[in-house]
Amino acid sequence: MGIDKATKAVLADLSQEHALTRGSDDISLVRSTYDRVFSAWTAGARGPTNETWRKVDVSGGTTDVLVIEPASGSVDGTVLFIHGGGWSLGSALCYAALCRDLASMAQMRVLVADFPQAPEVPYPAGLNVLRDVASWAYESFGSPVSLVGDSAGGTLCAVLAADEQVGQHVAAQVLLYPVMDLRLNTKYRSRKRFGSGKYFLSNDGILGASIWYCGDQVQPDDPKVSPVLAADFSGLPPTLVIVPEYDPLRDEGERYAALLKKAGVRSEVYLAKGTIHGCASFSGRIAEGRKSIQLTAQFLKSSGG
């Protein structure tokens, strides 16, 4: 199908957000624009939630974690949500609306953490902090933790799910349009078809963010930054990958899910038709974005998260 009407309207509005679509040398401007847009276009929660901020001890100090719980009924598990933004943008507060929606739909506790970002602090600082947060969540709430992440956050989820320290305590993972291959010479058809920038996310943006994130500490072909290149997928948790139809990252997300299935892991793919990268954050405007959050909640519940 073609781009749906609501997504066309979102693309038209995004085209006016020049700091996001054209870039800027002022990273603080790009970050503030990202936070404003990605928080404003998210749907409100289906039900009331309670939330508190917790300071968690992590590598190099502490980090702030927003803890969101449904206000009524039982809390049926814990989710660590890792936000996107190319490892350089986004914040816990920016994604609070999406996480409130997820918490109320899944009847689960949702944690969303701030973590160090590139280019100021490249790999592995952010990953190390999130590993500590995941361990803290398991120890604090006494049960396995499910992982949910969008875009670059999906990459981090997949790496943590395979991590020796925390992977054994991960109940399930949901990856929303994740970046699974950071190599500079990838040949995915979806990147060629949809990566010009016409559909918001561009190949130039993907590559620039990847270079910033890797810094000089890791090569892009290392599975710790490119999860699709791992040698063994057999021990991973049940996984749902959600990919928009017009997303340059579509093919690598589908490939990751196929590799898990081949290894005997429960693995599902949902194609969000007629829409673009970032759709879950635009759930207040794009129906497939809201459906993506609903499917995330359903999958977590069915996986015993």
What is the token pair recorded at 255? 């490939």
Find the helix or strand (DSSP H, E) in which 112 lies: strand 109-113
Kindly give, in sequence order, each residue whose CB lies less than 8 Å from that of residue 10, ignoring residues fewer than 6 positions away: 41, 276, 282, 285, 286
Sheet with 267-272: list strands edge to edge.
49-58, 61-70, 109-113, 78-82, 145-150, 170-176, 239-244, 267-272
> pLDDT tens across 114-127, in order?
999 999 999 999 99
Question: For residue 256, is pLDDT > 70?
Answer: yes
Sole residue written with tokens 């990268």: 277
Residues 6+ apart with CB under 8 A from 188: 181, 248, 251, 252, 255
Q: Is 247 a catalytic residue?
A: yes
Read off the pLDDT band of 215 (50, 70, 90). Answer: very high
- Reply yes or no on whether 151 is catalytic: yes
CA distance readout (Å), 230 to 91, 113, 171: 28, 26, 20
Selected catalytic residue, list 91, 104, 146, 151: 151
- Residue type (1 letter), 173: Q
Instruction: State the Rg of the chain over Cα.
Output: 17
Q: Is 184 exposed, middle or buried (0-12, 13-18, 19+ CB in 10 A)?
A: exposed
- pTM, entire model: 0.97
Rounded CA gap, 72 and 97, in Å? 18
Nearest-angstrom CA–CA distance, 123 and 118:
8
Q: Cα–Cα distance between 117 and 91 in angstroms, integer? A: 10
pLDDT digits (tens, 9 = 90+) for 18-64: 999 998 999 999 999 999 999 999 998 888 999 999 999 998 899 99
- Residues 131-165 have pLDDT tens digits of 999 999 999 999 999 999 999 999 999 999 999 99
**Among 70-74, 139-143, 216-220, 276-280, which stretch is predicted with the lowest mean pLDDT?**
70-74
Q: For residue 236, give the DSSP letter.
A: P
Catalytic residue among 150, 163, 247, 251: 247
Mean of pLDDT values over 80-89: 98
User: What pLDDT was estimated at residue 305?
Assistant: 59
The domain of 82 spans 5-302
Catalogue the E-assigned strands of 155-237. Answer: 170-176
Which band of pLDDT confidence, cut at 50, 70 and 90, is reported for residue 73?
confident
Q: Is the pLDDT at 84 greater than 70, yes or no?
A: yes
Given 88, 150, 277, 281, which residue is catalytic? Answer: 277
Number of domains in the chain: 1
Q: CATH number for the domain including 178?
A: 3.40.50.1820
Rounded-to-integer distance, Cα 245 and Cα 211, Å: 26
- Is 132 labeled as catalytic in the residue annotation? no
Strand partners, 239: 173, 267
Host H or E run for residue 80: strand 78-82
